[in-house]
Amino acid sequence: MAKTPLSVTAVDLTAEQQALLVEGVDAWQTNDLADKGVRRLFITDGPHGVRKVRAAAGSFAIGDNETSTAFPPAVTVASSWNPDNAFAMGEAIGREARAAGVDVILGPGVNIKRSPLCGRNFEYFSEDPLVSGVLGSAFVRGIQSVGVGASVKHFAANSNENYRFVGDSVVDERALREIYLRAFERIVSEARPETVMCSYNRINGVYASQNAPLLTGILREEWGFDGLVMTDWGATVDRVAGILAGCDLEMPGQVAHNRRELLDSAASDPRVADALARSAGRVLDLVAKHPESQPEQAAFQLADHEELSEQIAREGAVLMANDGALPLAPTTEGLVVVGELFEHMRFQGAGSSLITPPYVVSPRQAFDRRGVGYRYAPGYSAFDGTATPQLRDEAVAATAGAETVLFFGGLTDFEESEGFDRTHLRLGAAQLELLETILDAGARVVLVLFAGAVVELPMADRLAAVLNMNLPGMRGGEATAALLFGEANPSGKLAESWVRRVEDSSPFADYNRSARAEYYESVYVGYRFHDAAGTDLAYPFGHGLSYTSYEYSELKVTVDAGTVTAQLNVTNTGAVDGDEVVQLYVGSRSSAVFMTAKELRGFARVHVPAGATRAVTIEFPLAELSYWDVAHGGWVLENGEYEVMAAASASDIRLRAPLRVTGHATSRSPYPSAVDAAYASPPREVPAAFEALLGAPVVDDYDARRLTMNTRLGDARATLLGRLVARAIIGTVAKDYRAALALPPSLERDAQVKNTYFVLRMMPNSVLRSMAMSSAGAFPYELAEALSLLATGHPIRAIGAFRAWRARRKESA
Ligand code: BGC
């Protein structure tokens, strides 16, 4: 983005002015310096649409937004395996952002899906860093192509919600580099995002918001990032340490305590003064990229964006199983539809990414538009997944004698959301029971699924077909109908492994057991784990069927000037046109270091008309075969034998070709033999050699009993005072939830209930520090500190903190 030089630089500013620049104001803006000609920037969510809170709703309201196109979330975009979709969507969101006067969009979310239980997986692309990196990069390029900034989040190793404010992601250096940082690295170097958002959690003991090796050493010095780093909302711990580490902008800001600490330290420590000036300079640089202060006249047709959202939903849907039941003829006799998601489709996930579209097209509306005849029974409530006996009985009666039943199933916002993780992968009890009952009666059942992440389908073998729409955005109903009736051919593939049982997931022995997340599985994440563990998967990574079939032939692999080129032919052997997602994996066959069996190195989505053959070329730099050598602290390309695999999924390798690497490094393990032995195959529990792998002891310094500033409210129940304080805080939020429940039935009520529930469920995971840091001054830091001191048995110091709070209140009054 071209910069318009400002007439002011950081050195022209006083420390007070710099301190104002490096914090936000009013939840979504940066501070202006009007007399210096520095305007304020508007920064907002993201990622699958523009979520701009309506002014009347107050700064932080989640569900009361100005309307904008609700695109499918990342899970669906990733399942399309089409970077053009990510680019086009970013571009469209960028245009809507400009029209709404928004300068920076908070997205994409490119964290790796470490466990299928993570409540926020719908907002992330994949378990694989290449898919996340390629799609994230295209999305950033799309947004920034129209002059809006992107904020790549959440940097880094942020893989759960339950411990999001205090968790420590204990990750070995190699897994960090090869898996958790790799998508960020690709995006930073390919797409040059204007900003990066650091995550809430700690990485190997140090909070991301003050992690100098991460924010400065790796991000800026190694990768050459020259943009701005901002905190996630309320992620600040120690603001001075943050500035020193390279965390420029504190959001949402207005924490008087932080500003004071920063100014005091800057006055006495030249290193802090320099760092403050540098960060203020980066805010000025960002402002210079966005000189307009007025919303731009809309230069697009909303209808085009809505159409694009539908196209991505179509391309991102995954046909997981099909015995020939699909496609349906629109004239199918005796079609029975069960499941209220048919009428009230879940089209996006819950939390800060919640978009308010101008309208939603449900599958029912799309069926009716086509004049399809059907009998329909809701069976359960799409809102909360419950069923009354009457709803259930009516559905069972409706399916009596039916030949084909379309069962619309999926998750609710009460089960899958930002703010908390799932405790299991099952469908809701009412849906499960109803589905089993209908299957027991002998009907042929097609399951149409709306969920942002993996669900266990124990009845899968009895289903005639499974069409996974993921979360399809505002026009998902149209996309669903088009695919079910064969107007479009499902061609998406899964970007994450679908386990049969949660126990089979790669980090199961550790996930959400405590604040300390031990990433003991190292590089064995997702299919990298299942390959070696031989997991009996429900549906593997990269899996997706179609109404046609493809044959792969003639794989040729060449290496020239550091680029590997794989060429092959794909023939559509069926009767309908379709797109095939070809995956290229490579595995080392001779390394002395522990290696996964294969890693995705490239992919291509190609359109192949019925009966036609298309040549496919996939290229990648040979250097990408390097692994992270902990002895060297660098990437090492090993000599030896590699195998290149062209595949239809991680479990469906169609063609293989050898690749020999010479002239680079001789393979040798940098690890002690105990590590080599423990990691020769993926560990099923935290191995004794985990600390040797880390090269450091695992430290547990989370105080789960007493209500410190960094103890989750839900944990602090061990002490009476902690319990009382936690109960009082949670009680306030619970009141809002009850008030929402008491509203008369309406869409407005549903939104209120969902949003207050999201906050209520997140509350036990929240900590006083982050609540103070994210409240934009409404919950002052000193008050939080006083409560914490009281709850941890320091009444005298608590009185001191109360006094400080009162004095500051007076001062600002
Ligand atoms: C989320 C971010 C989001 C921010 C602003 C945070 O709680 O983690 O993803 O952009 O809130 O809504």
Question: SS3 string of 489-553?
Answer: CCCCCCCCCECCCHHHCCCCCCCCCCCEEECCCCCCCCHHHHHHHCCCCCECCCCCECCCCEEEE
Phi, psi of 364, rounded to the nearest 5 degrees:
-60, -45
Of 103, 128, 232, 629, catalytic: 232
Structure confidence at residue 721 (pLDDT): 86
pLDDT at 521 over 70: yes
What is the 208 CA–ligand 1 centroid distance (Å)?
A: 15
| Protein residue whose Cα sits closest to atom 6 of ligand 1 | 233
User: Of the ranges 59-68, 428-437, 502-511, 676-685, which one carries the lowest mean pLDDT score?
Assistant: 59-68
Structure confidence at residue 300 (pLDDT): 87
Structure confidence at residue 769 (pLDDT): 97
What percent of the chain has a predicted confidence (pLDDT) above 90? 89
Q: Is 233 in the pocket of ligand 1 (CB under 6 A)?
A: yes
Structure confidence at residue 3 (pLDDT): 59
CA–CA distances in Å: residue 443 to residues 320, 458, 468:
19, 17, 20
Q: Is 352 in the pocket of ligand 1 (CB under 6 A)?
A: yes
| Protein residue whose Cα sits closest to atom 8 of ligand 1 | 232
Q: Is 48 in the pocket of ligand 1 (CB under 6 A)?
A: no
| Protein residue whose Cα sits closest to atom 4 of ligand 1 | 233
Looking only at the bridges linking them, the beta strands covering 652-661 and 640-649 are: antiparallel
Mean pLDDT throughout 293-317? 92
pLDDT tier at 292 (50, 70, 90 boundaries)? Answer: confident
Residue 663 is given by DSSP the state S
pLDDT tier at 331 (50, 70, 90 boundaries)? Answer: confident
Q: Which atom of ligand 1 is nearest to the CA of 51?
A: 12
Structure tokens at 705: 């009993």
Starting at the edge strand found earlier in the chain, the sheet holding 613-621 runs 550-560, 563-572, 613-621
Phi, psi of 270, rounded to the nearest 5 degrees:
-60, -25
pLDDT at 60 over 80: no
Angle at the Cα of 285 from the Cα atoms of 279 and 286, rounded to 5 degrees: 95
Q: Is 248 in the pocket of ligand 1 (CB under 6 A)?
A: no
| Protein residue whose Cα sits closest to atom 7 of ligand 1 | 233
Q: Which atom of ligand 1 is nearest to the CA of 419?
A: 7
CA–CA distances in Å: residue 746 to residues 99, 248, 396, 740:
30, 43, 27, 11
* Three-state SS annotation for 170-235: ECCHHHHHHHHCHHHHHHHHHHCCCEEEECCCEECCEEHHHCHHHHHHHHHHHCCCCCEEEECCCC
CA–CA distances in Å: residue 372 to residues 9, 341, 425:
65, 17, 33
Q: How far apart are CA 69 and CA 49, in angstroms?
A: 6
What is the 500 CA–ligand 1 centroid distance (Å)?
A: 31
Q: Is 161 in the pocket of ligand 1 (CB under 6 A)?
A: no
Give catalytic status of residue 368 as yes or no: no
Q: Is 776 in the pocket of ligand 1 (CB under 6 A)?
A: no
What is the 409 CA–ligand 1 centroid distance (Å)?
A: 28
| Protein residue whose Cα sits closest to atom 11 of ligand 1 | 233
Buried b (16+ CB within 10 A) or exposed e, 527-556: bbbbbbbebebbbbbbbbbbbbebebeebe
Structure confidence at residue 57 (pLDDT): 64
Mean pLDDT throughout 355-368? 96
Looking only at the bridges linking them, the beta strands covering 195-198 and 228-231 are: parallel
Q: How far apart are CA 235 and CA 201, in angstroms?
A: 8
Q: How far apart are CA 813 and CA 811, in angstroms?
A: 6
pLDDT tens-digit series, residues 525-562: 999 999 999 999 999 999 999 999 999 999 999 999 99
Structure confidence at residue 747 (pLDDT): 77
Structure confidence at residue 750 (pLDDT): 83
Spatial contact of 172 and 693, defined as CB atoms under 8 Å apart: yes
Q: CB count, 10 Å around CB of 230? A: 29
Unique residue bearing structure tokens 């805010």: 283
Residue type at 497 in one-letter notation: S
pLDDT tier at 2 (50, 70, 90 boundaries)? Answer: low
Q: Is 106 in the pocket of ligand 1 (CB under 6 A)?
A: yes
Q: How far apart are CA 462 and CA 777, in angstroms?
A: 56
Looking only at the bridges linking them, the beta strands covering 404-410 and 444-450 are: parallel
Residue type at 467 in one-letter notation: L
Spatial contact of 400 and 364, defined as CB atoms under 8 Å apart: no
Looking only at the bridges linking them, the beta strands covering 318-322 and 465-468 are: antiparallel
Mean pLDDT throughout 169-187? 98
pLDDT tier at 722 (50, 70, 90 boundaries)? Answer: confident
Structure confidence at residue 334 (pLDDT): 85
Angle at the Cα of 49 from the Cα atoms of 159 and 45, rounded to 5 degrees: 55
Mean pLDDT throughout 268-294? 96
Q: How far apart are CA 807 and CA 795, in angstroms?
A: 18
**Which one, of 593, 587, 580, lies nearest residue 549 by Cα?**
580
Name the strand (E) or helix (H) holding 656: strand 652-661
For the chain, the 3-state helix, strand and coil shares in percent, each to the nearest 5, are 35, 20, 45
Q: CB count, 10 Å around CB of 461? A: 8
Spatial contact of 50 and 104, defined as CB atoms under 8 Å apart: no
| Protein residue whose Cα sits closest to atom 12 of ligand 1 | 352
Residue type at 98 in one-letter notation: R
Q: How far apart are CA 177 and CA 184, in angstroms?
A: 10
Structure tokens at 400: 């009596």
**Across the chain, what does the average pLDDT equal?**
95
To the nearest 10°, report the CA torsion of 514, 519, 520, 525: 130
Mean pLDDT throughout 755-777? 93
pLDDT at 4 over 70: no
Spatial contact of 549 and 611, defined as CB atoms under 8 Å apart: no
Angle at the Cα of 349 from the Cα atoms of 348 and 354, rounded to 5 degrees: 80
Structure tokens at 38: 């520095």
Structure tokens at 373: 């005849």
Spatial contact of 390 and 432, defined as CB atoms under 8 Å apart: no
Q: Is 232 in the pocket of ligand 1 (CB under 6 A)?
A: yes
Peptide bond into 108 cis (omega under 30): yes
